[in-house]
């Protein structure tokens, strides 16, 4: 039986990306890609739940991907993370960012950045199943049904 090839692997092969030790990436670089991966997961679930207007889709997505919601998610996941995952999250949370969310507290913005760094780290390690497991567990704990 053929082993499934991840989307990340296909991207790296198609565009001839060289191998990089992801532990050398800055936490803000991890958050940069993690933000996109998290957003893609949430958008995919929302679209799969029904064909709606773009404005309705955007409103549903925005409630879940905003910094306050991400901060609550990572708080709910605190006891679910491995030591390695906790370390990556903390690096992201403590990173010195020169921007902030316009509608979020600094604390929530930093927690959200930590979550995004963790998601980016797991994505670049090809651990998509772990990302989905964490998001599902967090949503279940928070009572968020998508």
Catalytic residue among 21, 35, 108, 129: 35
CB 116 within 8 A of CB 38: yes
Q: Confirm whether 39 is a catalytic residue.
A: no
Q: Is 45 exposed, middle or buried (0-12, 13-18, 19+ CB in 10 A)?
A: middle
Place of tokens 């780290």: 121
**Residues acting as catalytic residues:** 35
């Amino acid at each position: 039986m053929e082993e499934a090839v991840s989307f990340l692997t296909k991207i790296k092969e198609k565009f001839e990306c060289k191998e990089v030790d992801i532990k050398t990436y800055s936490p803000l670089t991890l958050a940069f890609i993690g933000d996109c991966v998290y957003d893609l997961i949430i958008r995919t679930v929302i679209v799969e739940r029904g064909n709606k207007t773009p404005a309705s889709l955007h409103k549903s997505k925005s409630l879940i991907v905003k910094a306050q919601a991400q901060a609550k998610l990572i708080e709910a996941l605190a006891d679910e993370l491995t030591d390695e995952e906790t370390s990556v999250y903390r690096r992201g949370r403590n990173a010195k960012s020169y921007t902030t969310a316009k509608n979020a507290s600094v604390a929530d913005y930093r927690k959200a950045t930590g979550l995004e760094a963790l998601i980016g780290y797991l994505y670049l390690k090809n651990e998509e199943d772990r990302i989905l497991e964490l998001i599902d567990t967090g949503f279940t704990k928070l009572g968020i049904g998508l």
